[in-house]
Chain A
């Protein structure tokens, strides 16, 4: 039995609608939480940015996991994503490194 045929017997539209409603509520909650965090008094911008990005990452995991079916994907897809994560982490790592890597004699804010 092919994967497609396998899915055909297991997709239930009503259960998908229920799942989608839950995901949508989760996205709404995450969006509300991010907006709330951005208006929190007594927190500096670095703390607010950290909180907001943390919520955004959780939100992204929900969307990728449930809507893109990443929770039940094949090994090949995980391999592709593994390479992507590695290079993306390298890109961001180099960016963070560059933030404190000023040439001698230049101004630092």
Chain B
């Protein structure tokens, strides 16, 4: 049995079925990310004064990822346009670019996660706090590349502090009261940061898998029914543009404000 309305327009909706389906799915995605953004707003507004982080994330990486996603959105659109003019070779080239850009994005995101994972806040028994990236640790001491502060609020607004001097600090374990890395459990900022960007990264990964499938195994359908294949490319492209749209808000909210 043939699936109806894969290429032809359904009279009552005015679009082919998959297109309406993806838009309904994207509508539910808007509410999913909307709920998380709502949680972000409440956490941020509810944070005590001077206790919300500024400058914890590297704007250079965020900007680079913004450019990568914008480029990938464009190569996705061009892949669809290439299908429309029946140039399968160009489709494969543009979608190959999309896959590479997406993997680069995920690579940079992984590096950022790793950077947070090895970043430690160490409370010492004398009341000071050592903060920095772990260099090495053993049973007797912990070595970090960072600094010591006396006031915890100094750890939050990094943008306001111009000259932060970082040195290699060797801390005996006997002097440590508590130590914790910048994992999701560290505070509400890292919790919502990892949740929002983690969910977004999962969407990138899922979209990349779909695009890879079309890129690698789409030839058979292309030869059999190019219009149906083109519509599949369009639907996957709409999802990809939505993922780009989410990042357009994630980047300023997390990296710039």
Contacts and interface: CB of A to CB of B under 8 A. Distances in A.
Interface of A: 2-4, 7-8, 11-13, 16-17, 20, 23-24, 27-28, 31, 34-35, 37-38, 45, 48-49, 52-53, 55-56, 59-60, 63-64, 67-68, 74-77, 80-81, 83-84, 87-88, 91-92, 94-96, 98-99, 109
Given A80-B24, A91-B31, 5 more contacts: A2-B8, A64-B245, A67-B77, A95-B41, A99-B42
B142 interface: no
A2 B16 CA distance: 10
A96 to B, nearest CB: 8
B244 A63 contact: yes
B172 interface: no
Interface residue SS majority, chain A: helix
Given A23-B74, A52-B252, A80 B63 contact: no
Interface of B: 7-9, 13-16, 19-20, 23-24, 27, 30-31, 34-35, 37-38, 41-42, 45-49, 59, 63, 66-67, 70-71, 73-74, 77-78, 81-82, 84-85, 87, 90, 227, 230-231, 238, 241-242, 244-245, 248-249, 251-253, 256-257
Contacts of A76: 13-15, 20
A70 to B, nearest CB: 10
A16 B78 contact: yes
B85 A3 contact: no
B84 A53 contact: no
27 contacts: A2-B7, A2-B8, A2-B9, A3-B16, A8-B85, A12-B85, A13-B87, A20-B74, A20-B78, A31-B66, A31-B70, A60-B249, A63-B241, A63-B245, A63-B248, A67-B74, A67-B244, A68-B242, A76-B15, A80-B27, A84-B30, A88-B34, A91-B35, A91-B38, A95-B38, A98-B42, A109-B48
A75 B38 CA distance: 29
Contacts, number: 137
A23 B37 CA distance: 26
Nearest to B15: A74
A66 to B, nearest CB: 9
B40 to A, nearest CB: 10
B24 A34 contact: no
A60 B90 CA distance: 27
Contact of A60 (B35, B71, B74, B248): B248
Nearest to B70: A27
Given A7-B84, A11-B81, A23-B74, A83 B27 contact: yes
